[in-house]
Amino acid sequence: MKTQMTGARMVVQALKDQGVEVVFGYPGGAVLPIYDEIFQQNDIRHILVRHEQGAVHMAEGYARSTGKPGVALVTSGPGATNAVTGLTDALMDSIPIIVLTGQVPTFMIGTDGFQEADTVGITRPCTKMNWLVKDTAKLSETIHLAFHVATHGRPGPVLIDIPKDVQFAESTYVGPDAIKTPHYQPRTKGDPAQILRLVEMMEAAERPVFYTGGGVINAGVTASTLLRDLVAATDFPITSTLMGLGCYPASGKNWLGMLGMHGLYEANLAMHGCDLMINIGARFDDRITGRIKDFSPHSRKAHIDIDPSSINKVIHVDVGIVGDVAEVLADVLAVWKQRGSKTNKPAVAKWWSQIQQWQAVKCLTYKNSTKVIKPQHALERLEALTKGYDRYITTEVGQHQMWAAQFLGFEGPNRWMTSGGLGTMGYGLPASIGVQIAHPDALVINVAGEASWLMNMQEMGTAMQFRTPVKQFILNNERLGMVRQWQELLHGERYSSSWSESLPDFVKLADAFGCKGIRIDDPADLDEAIKEMLAYNGPVIFDCRVEKHENCFPMIPSGKPHNEMLLGDADTQGVIGAKGAVLV
Amino acid sequence: MSALNIKKGSSSHSAYELRDPNGDLIESHTLTAVVANESGVLARVIGLFSGRGYNIESLTVAETDHASHLSRITVVTRGTPAVIAQIRAQLERMVVVYEVHDLTAEGPAVQRELALFKVAGKGDVRIEALRLAEIFRANVVDSTLESFVFEMTGTPEKIDAFADLMRPLGLREIARTGVAALSRGA
């Protein structure tokens, strides 16, 4: 298809041709021509946010919950700089999003014009790729290429900066077919020789463990299905990072729970004691490895990842397989079946009995109370009362995020949206709106802390305007809980600026936004209040007043290996040395 | 491995992997990348080095294929074998990068650098500078009664050596292009 049109119309046409149904954005001087085109059509829905950071997180929530790329549209200068946190977040967690920014006209670039910023310069380190399009003739092709780059290989954020004169000028539109064979074609098929080596290692393994991550989710629903098949075929135990929750069902019999700094005892000890670690789509993040020197010291390690630079970046592995998780898992299963492979059953059974001893420790045990709501208890009740719902969970960042990961169970992929790599407070509320826009009839809950939630609370206006009935489940301890916990453990209980002082009255705040507010502080009222939240057809701000000084356990202190885990307050005295204190 | 002092990894041509992938021996490697000749590409490549704390000893870039809009970046960097492997992998995954070669690891390569030396002096010193320039096959590209500008092409080591000789003879300024390199053979 070749037609003459303005650059602004090209943007809308290209988005349509890429199958985009919704754009999250905020208008401004440098994107007015594009907004004018959006006004004159009905195929693409525009969600007006309250702050550009919110737009990008909504696009992330949309992308993470659908597997499709999310799109944000913002103006030049402050619009673009406000998008930077979201771009970095998407880069760290490999979320495919396309951000379109307006720019001052080409003839003004470099003159410090009004709302001018060097957007491609500022966003270069926080995008997978970005472009400044100075010629309308190249605009449609660049947008199609941007979608290709964002969704191929390791997904990530891309940005297209479009000067205003380029939006007004006319040129020839080209459709997505114009970039049939883009140069960027990352390898998706794993090396057969390495796959065979992995299968041989799996046949011989005595103490194996699958260590899975967000890459399984990014590889699509098929990858999760194949992973389940492989776990069933081998009966090996499986753990996952924060980003990978849901790729294997929490109710599955081989599930060990999340691993890492606040991961489960059995998951971390299985990682420490295994003789074969099979990393599928995870990246040996420092929240996972702890002290590198003592990380899983007796294991051979295999690593499946679509990004070649992930392999041997942090941990040296014995077998590195570069490829798409779904394709590699399909090949592994095919080789497994073709060879009639069998595991070392007696050894694996012995390994399982060891793991069962670790499971018997019941590391998530906490001291419940009838006087004050324990955050863990609130989440256990939320989990119990939302069983059977078509449920999506987003979170903010901090203690509540870790408790949510520990106490909520995920049966499938794309149900859990959280800021893992960057740890962006303020992610959860806009992300929940993005998820709800994609799944209007589902139950979408943002598990939040009061401090994180305040960072982007303006987006409640967006939730109201677009009738997204998102439930804001705020575990309110009037503290920056994770900061407070570290100050207790590392800084002599000097609680420097970790109170949430002068908090708003969340019920009145809900009232001000026009949605429902609920406050509780008595454990006896918890179930009724959660049911009331679930029954309400609209957004709810749920102010759950919880124990103020609860710490999140288990915890591997910074700079410690997996087998030096703290299980509760009694373990914490003087365990973190000066070396650990410099780590984050 | 470090006892063997195998600096440059000709390991891919050896029957044995002599270099310890986790070794801490710092090596100097010449990497060459064919990249799209678009604005911002050089910034992206340099940003990778500064953002991840990699070292750049020299860097040259110029368009090499006008029709296909391709440029060649040649970068000399230092690091342990693991760091060098990581730099290569990080370069390879960039959207704008078409191919990457580690010329130091992949086998024999020619490396050349062009340098200009401004040397000022009179009398014997001046004659000595000119004599040494002849020995090093440097050309005189500018001359006044009190100065020369020498042009020389060679390996970085040769240019270093010439600079050391010129220093006591009135060396005022040096301009170097950085290394350009290609693998030997077809």
Could you read off the pLDDT tens digit of each residue along chain A, which spans 584 residues? 569 999 999 999 999 999 999 999 999 999 999 999 999 999 999 999 999 999 999 999 999 999 999 999 999 999 999 999 999 999 999 999 999 999 999 999 999 999 999 999 999 999 999 999 999 999 999 999 999 999 999 999 999 999 999 999 999 999 999 887 788 999 999 999 999 999 999 999 999 999 999 999 999 999 999 999 999 999 999 999 999 999 999 999 999 999 999 999 999 999 999 999 999 999 999 999 988 999 999 999 999 999 999 999 999 999 999 999 999 999 999 999 999 999 999 999 999 999 999 999 999 999 999 999 999 999 999 999 999 999 999 999 999 999 999 999 999 999 999 999 999 999 999 999 999 999 999 999 999 999 999 999 999 999 999 999 999 999 999 999 999 999 998 899 999 999 988 999 999 999 999 999 999 999 999 999 999 999 999 999 999 999 999 999 999 988 888 888 999 877 766 666 666 667 77
Say whether the peptide bond before residue A182 is cis (omega within 30 degrees of 0): no
Q: Give the closest residue to A261 by CA, choosing from A485, A5, A71, A52.
A: A485
pLDDT digits (tens, 9 = 90+) for B48-100: 999 999 999 999 999 999 999 999 999 999 999 999 999 999 999 999 999 99
Q: Among this protein's residues, is A406 annotated catalytic? A: no
User: Sorting pLDDT into bands at 50, 70 and 90, what band is B24?
Assistant: confident
Predicted ipTM of the assembly: 0.89
Alpha-carbon distance of A56 to A89, in angstroms, equals: 9
Q: Give the closest residue to A136 by CA, choosing from A99, A176, A175, A169.
A: A169
How many beta-carbon contacts under 8 Å exist across A and B? Answer: 42
Taking phi over 0 as left and psi of -120 to 50 as alpha, with beta for the rest, A240 belongs to beta
Task: Mark yes or no for CB contact A312/B40 under 8 Å.
Answer: no
Alpha-carbon distance of B29 to B78, in angstroms, equals: 6
| pLDDT for res A178 | 81
Q: Nearest residue of A to residue B68 by CA position?
A: A183
The residues facing A540 across adjacent strands are A471, A516
**Interface with A, mutate which of B93, B94, B98, B102 (most A CBs under 10 A):** B93
Task: Mark yes or no for CB contact A124/B43 under 8 Å.
Answer: yes
Among the partner-chain residues A120, A186, A316, the one whose CB lies closest to the CB of B21 is: A316
Q: Among this protein's residues, is A206 annotated catalytic? A: no
Q: Among this protein's residues, is A114 annotated catalytic? A: yes
- Classify the C-alpha dihedral A86-A91-A96-A101 as positive or negative: positive
**Neighbour count for residue A300 (Cβ, 10 Å):** 18
pLDDT digits (tens, 9 = 90+) for B125-174: 999 999 999 999 999 999 999 999 999 999 999 999 999 999 999 999 99
Q: Which of A21, A68, A108, A115 is catalytic?
A: A115
Q: Nearest residue of B to residue A148 by CA position?
A: B95
Task: Mark yes or no for CB contact A312/B47 under 8 Å.
Answer: no
Q: Among this protein's residues, is A482 annotated catalytic? A: yes
Confidence check: pLDDT of B15 > 90: no
Among the partner-chain residues B21, B47, B90, the one whose CB lies closest to the CB of A124 is: B47
Task: Mark yes or no for CB contact A309/B89 under 8 Å.
Answer: yes
Which residues in A lie closer than 8 A to residue B90 (C-beta atoms)?
Answer: 309
Exposure class string for A427-454: b at 16+ Cβ within 10 A, else e: bbbbbbbbbbbbbeebbbbbbbbbbbbb
Over residues B111-134, mean pLDDT: 96
Which residues in A lie closer than 8 A to residue B31 (C-beta atoms)?
Answer: none
**Interface with B, mutate which of A109, A122, A124 (most B CBs under 10 A):** A124
Numbered residues of chain A with Cβ closer than 8 Å to any chain B Cβ:
120-121, 124-125, 128-130, 132, 149, 153-154, 183-184, 186, 307-309, 311-313, 316
What is the token pair recorded at A222?
């098929």
DSSP character at residue A546:
B
Q: Whole-model pTM?
A: 0.93
Q: Give the closest residue to A138 by CA, choosing from A174, A182, A176.
A: A174
Q: Among this protein's residues, is A488 annotated catalytic? A: no
| pLDDT for res A180 | 74
Alpha-carbon distance of A168 to A455, in angstroms, equals: 36
Contact A284, A313 (CB under 8 A): yes
Q: Which of A114, A356, A528, A531 is catalytic?
A: A114
User: Sorting pLDDT into bands at 50, 70 and 90, what band is B16?
Assistant: very low
